[in-house]
Amino acid sequence: MRIVIDTDTKRLTLEEAGGQRSEMDLYTPESFAALSRQWIRVGWAQRYSYGFTWLGRPVIQLPEDLVRTQEVIWRTRPDVIVETGVAHGGSLILYASLLELIGQGRVVGVDIDIRPHNRAAIDSHPLAQRIQLIQGSSTDPATVAQVIEAIPPGSRVMVLLDSNHTKEHVRAELEAYAPLVTPGCYLVATDGIMSDLHDVPGGHADWTWDHATAAAAEFASAQADFALEDPARPFQEGAIEQAVTYWPGGWLRRR
């Protein structure tokens, strides 16, 4: 695709490889959607999301996804947030800080390989008392059993899947962790944006089908008690409805 931005005439033109051409006002939601898609693609190739921290720990997420998750946590008030994929621990710290503000709850982080320096940094963080780390494959029944044991009876539970993003692995995680999610809370399959990154530097051709969004769609079609549903926006005074996100089609709300 060729994109032409004319700031003098305030027009944006999209020219498809097949010869299709569309032109629109530059300052519209439609132009925003086209430009933000390319911004996401270029930003991913340049590791844009690797430039942020939360309370001292690297948090490798798109800022808009972090803000949207904060809105959901504040609204649904989970007692336990389970996240597969720990990395540097920044998102665990984020969730723990929100639960600290709410005055309740804990975070359970699962990873097949929690690096010693990351574990030490998380364990020494001021919010460490709200975080439990479990090392093991997120789909191993023994690991899932440890997660279940870490959840007090009657807890409201939210789960975010951010480990291995292949369709097969995410589908297995969805099956394993869906029973833990409380009605009204969310099960999130993150980073389905891979489906739109197959042709950028660092992308892979099989990402056209091998991604988290495909797993979430398949899961939702087979599970009547889960609905693919982007979180409602608690505040919206602008014209932009489309999210700028790495997690398209990844939010599953338990009915």
- Say which residues have a Cβ less than 8 Å from residue 20's Cβ, sequence separation at least 6: none
pLDDT per position in the chain (255 positions), as tens? 899 999 999 999 999 888 899 999 999 999 999 999 999 999 999 999 999 999 999 999 999 999 999 999 999 999 999 999 999 999 999 999 999 999 999 999 999 999 999 999 999 999 999 999 999 999 999 999 999 999 999 999 999 999 999 999 999 999 999 999 999 999 999 999 999 999 999 999 999 999 999 999 999 999 999 999 999 999 999 999 989 999 999 999 999
3-state secondary structure the chain: CEEEEECCCCEEEEECCCCCEEEEECCCHHHHHHHHHHHHHHHHHCCHHHHCEECCEECCCCHHHHHHHHHHHHHHCCCEEEEECCCCCHHHHHHHHHHHHHCCCEEEEEECCCCHHHHHHHHCCCCHHHEEEEECCCCCHHHHHHHHHCCCCCCCEEEEECCCCCHHHHHHHHHHHHHHCCCCCEEEECCHHHHHCCCCCCCCHHHHCCCHHHHHHHHHHHCCCEEECCCCCCCCCCCCCCCCCCCCCCEEEEC
- The pLDDT score that the predictor gives to residue 17 is 84
**pLDDT at position 37:** 96
Does 3.10.20.740 match the CATH number of domain 52-254?
no
Domain assignments of the chain as residue spans, ordered by start: 2-46, 52-254
Question: Contact, 82 vs 180, CB < 8 A?
Answer: yes
Separation CA 36–CA 203 (nearest Å): 18
pLDDT of residue 22: 94
Q: According to the model, what pLDDT value does residue 239 have? A: 95
Q: Which of 83, 125, 80, 127 is nearest to 105 (CA)?
A: 80
What is the pLDDT at residue 167?
98
